[in-house]
Amino acid sequence: MRTPLRAALAGVVATLVLFSAADLIARAFGPPSAPLLALGQTIIPLAPAGLIKPVIDLLGHNDKLFLILTTGLGALVLGGLIGRLAFRRLRMATVLLSAAGLVPVLVILIRAESSVVDIIPTLIGLALGLLVFRLLIAAGAGQPTLRSGQPTLRSGEADGGRTESGQSPATPSRRRFFVITGVIGAAGAAAVAAGQTVASLTLDAGAAVAKLVLPKPATTAPPIPASAHPEVKGLAPFVTDPKDFYRIDTALAPPVVDPQEWSMRIHGMVESEVTLTMDDLLDLPLDEHHITLTCVSNPVGGDLVGNATWLGFPVRELLQRAKPHEDADMVLSHSIDGFTASTPIEALSDDRNALLAVGMNGSPLPPEHGFPARLVVPGLYGFVSATKWVTELEVTRFDEKTAYWTDRGWDAKAPILVASRIEVPKPLGKVPAGDITVAGTAWAQRSGVKRVDVKLDDGGWTSADLAEAVNIDTWRQWRADFSNVGTGSHTLTVRAIDQDGNVQTPERREAIPNSATGHHHIQFRVE
């Protein structure tokens, strides 16, 4: 017989089938066609600013997973609620379930990254989900043919929800219902797992297929001298491996962009619009530069900072071709995924190496770092400059346009502040008694690091030994040695001073709207 619980369960299972089948099939079509990703991705920009910060604070790098899981859980709950309706109103439940299933279809249709064929997996998933729903309801509502000795056989539609608690808990129809539900549920879970595996495979394959052959740089970056990196175990390498390079963006899956279809348009307050294809870009003389990139949300001492050798073409020269109007003061860069960043036009026109980059450490950009092209602008936090998967440079004014994060309470302009962190010893690490080595990294893009001071416990500041500076836009590593440190618990504090004499402030403040400040300090034990 049909009970509210079974009806709800049928709704949940149908939803599971919809998403798992669609997710699995989506792997053949590419990430934009995966309904759960598309739904989660659509929710992100709608999230109120007041909610984003606590969620990120709480979950850090797991925020993407959290979003997917809550979206999925929300869908299952909705499926259950609609399913429950089928207890009395099967037709209405079916109609509502179809309507709810069409929501991800619509969402996929309106997303810029997807094309019409991308709705196919969800449509197939929806059809399968509805089929399973009707089967389960039918199984749950089927006539209990094998029951003997029952005076009435009224059930299903006719019993109108009367509870029949007097019946044995293992009537065949009930058993059949739970067996079917279990089998389908297990199949759904397996499909989700399979979908995820295939997902990662597809991304790798996508990157491989999209193999871009980079030209030799017209100007190569000077080699990194060994003296730029103190030989201290546990200290970050001077150049960050792309796989260890921090990743920050609002994309659940990196957009898949075909370089042959990629182009970037410079428009807005310009005399002549410029459109650049990948072939155009790769035909230009490309330069290599070592540049340290930093995220405004990096906590004091955090790892949302990385140093790479970028290959690209100066944005300055591209802007010159477009001839911006005199009164333009900002370039709003747009990504294929809808993200935007507002960069002061001077930062893209002056002699710094602001790049339209295609290469990172000698290879094409990895998908998660902006393949096939992104901006890299020395001296500005990533959220106002480093647009990945960039497709447009819109020349405009700060009083006319605002960027993605500016609309969510962050500053419109955000130069990187002088900062430093301790990497050795590790926080709460144990160090053998005697002479101890402290080491870390400091950065002050556009100015350069002049000095790093370290303090042990409540002692005075001691100047650290600075490794060789590579240029003013890369971080600078340092070490300091302390002799005869007694056993027990100790603290270390660090601060950096830039070439203009700006001292890293001890004042603690939160990251919003333009980066956290304060000195990094750690505790460690000498044993």
Ligand X SMILES: Nc1nc2c(c(=O)[nH]1)N[C@H]1C(S)=C(S)[C@@H](COP(=O)(O)O)O[C@H]1N2
CB burial of 312-328 (b: ≥16 within 10 Å; e: otherwise) equals: bbbbbebbeebebeeeb
Contact code string over 9-38 relative to ligand X, x by CB under 6 A: ------------------------------
The least CB distance from residue 511 to Mo ion, in Å, is: 9
* Strand partners for 159: none
Shorter beta-carbon distance to ligand X: residue 19 or 245: 245
Using the minimum distance from each CB to Mo ion, give the nearer residue, 39 or 308.
Answer: 308
The verdict on 337 binding ligand X (CB under 6 A) reads: yes
By CB under 5 A, the count of residues binding Mo ion is 4
CB 388, min distance to ligand X, A: 4
Smallest distance, Mo ion to C-beta of residue 312, A:
19
369 interface partner picked from ligand X, Mo ion, none, CB below 5 to 8 A per type: ligand X
Of 119, 174, 165, whose CA–CA distance to 147 is shortest?
174
Structure tokens at 491: 């603290």
Q: From residue 259, how far is each of 135, 160, 365 by CA, in Å?
A: 46, 60, 11
CB contact set of 47 (below 8 Å; sequence gap of 6+): 55
Give whichever of 20 and 240 is closer to ligand X, judged by the CB atom: 240
Is 111 a residue that touches ligand X (CB under 6 A)? no
Alpha-carbon span 382 to 360, nearest angstrom: 16
Binding positions for ligand X, 69-98, rule CB under 6 A: none
Of residues 348 and 452, the one with the C-beta less far from ligand X: 348
Q: Which residue is nearest to ligand X (CB)?
A: 382
Q: Does 383 bind Mo ion (CB under 5 A)?
A: yes
Q: Indicate the pairing of strand 430-431 with strand 520-526.
A: parallel
Among 387, 391, 445, 504, binds ligand X (CB under 6 A): 387
Q: Residue 47 or 433: which CB sits closer to ligand X? A: 47
One character per residue 204-243, x = contact with ligand X (rule: CB under 6 A): ----------------------------------------
Minimum distance between the CB of residue 406 and ligand X, rounded to whole angstroms? 12
Q: At closest approach, how far in Å is the CB of 370 from ligand X?
A: 6
- 480: Cα separation from own chain's centroid: 36
**Can you state the percent helix, strand and coil of the chain, rounding each to 5?**
40, 25, 40
- Using CB under 6 A, pick the residue from 96, 235, 253, 293 that binds ligand X: 293
Among 379, 382, 425, 448, binds ligand X (CB under 6 A): 382
Query: Which range touches ligand X (CB under 6 A), out of 68-76, 194-202, 227-235, 331-339?
Result: 331-339
Q: Going by DSSP bridges, is the β-strand pair 434-443/449-456 parallel, antiparallel, or unpaired?
A: unpaired
> Is 318 an interacting residue with respect to Mo ion (CB under 5 A)?
no
Interface with ligand X includes 386 (CB under 6 A)?
yes
Number of residues binding to ligand X, judged by CB under 6 A: 19
Neighbour count for residue 203 (Cβ, 10 Å): 19
Whichever of 245 and 482 has its CB closer to ligand X, that residue is: 245
User: Is residue 452 classed exposed, middle or buried when 0-12, 13-18 and 19+ CB atoms within 10 A define those classes?
Assistant: buried
For position 302 contacting ligand X by CB under 6 A, the verdict is no
How far apart are the two ends of the chain, measured CA to CA in Å?
70
Q: Rank residues 382 and 518 by Cβ distance to Mo ion and give the closer one.
A: 382
- Please tell me whether residue 382 binds Mo ion under the rule CB under 5 A: yes
Applying CB under 5 A, among 295, 377, 424, 439 the residue interacting with Mo ion is 295
Q: Are strands 287-294 and 305-314 parallel, antiparallel or unpaired?
A: antiparallel
397 touching ligand X, by CB under 6 A: no
* Residues 226-255 close enough to bind Mo ion by CB under 5 A: 248
Is 392 an interacting residue with respect to ligand X (CB under 6 A)? no
Cβ(353)–Cβ(343) below 8 Å: no
List the one residue from 339, 478, 482, 524 that touches ligand X (CB under 6 A): 339
Residue 517 DSSP one-character state: B
Q: Binding marks (x or -) toward ligand X, 350..369, rule CB under 6 A?
A: -------------------x
For the bound state, the minimum distance from the C-beta of residue 81 to ligand X, rounded and expressed in Å, comes to 33
281 lies in the site for Mo ion, by CB under 5 A: no
- Helix boundaries (H) for 288-415: 315-322, 345-349
Residue 335 binds to ligand X (criterion: CB under 6 A)? yes
> Hey, what are 457's tokens?
């416990």
- With CA atoms as reference, report the closest residue to 71 among 28, 112, 23, 29: 23
Give all strands (DSSP E) within 349-505, no chain letters.
Answer: 355-360, 363-364, 374-376, 390-396, 419-424, 430-431, 434-443, 449-456, 462-463, 465-466, 476-485, 488-498
Q: At which residue do the structure tokens 């984003």 appear?
A: 52
Note the residues at the interface with ligand X (CB under 6 A): 245-250, 293, 295, 306, 335, 337, 339, 369, 382-383, 386-389
